[in-house]
Amino acid sequence: MRLRIDLGYDGTAFHGWAAQPGLRTVQALLEDALRVALRASASPQTTVAGRTDAGVHARGQVVHVDVETVDEATLGRLPRALNGLLPDDVRIRQVAPAPVGFDARFSALARRYSYRLVDGDSLDPLERHTVVLHQRGLDVDTMNIASRSLLGLNDFSAFCKRTDRGTSIRVLQEFAWHRDEYGVIVARVKADAFCHSMVRSLVGALVIVGDGRQGTEWPARLLAAGDRSSPVAPARGLVLEEVYYPPDAELLVRQDATRQSRDAAELSVPAGEWVEPTTGNG
By annotation, the residues acting in catalysis are 53
5, 64 contact by CB (below 8 A)? yes
232, 136 contact by CB (below 8 A)? no
Bridge partners for 191 per DSSP: 111, 172
52, 198 contact by CB (below 8 A)? no
Radius of gyration over alpha carbons of the chain, in Å?
20
240, 59 contact by CB (below 8 A)? yes
Distances (CA, A) of 122 to 66, 119, 277: 47, 8, 40
How crowded is residue 119: how many other Cβ atoms within 10 Å of its Cβ? Answer: 20
Q: Which of 40, 125, 30 is nearest to 83 (CA)?
A: 30
Ordered DSSP codes for 200-211: HHHHHHHHHHHT
149, 220 contact by CB (below 8 A)? yes
Strands 57-66 and 169-179 come out as unpaired
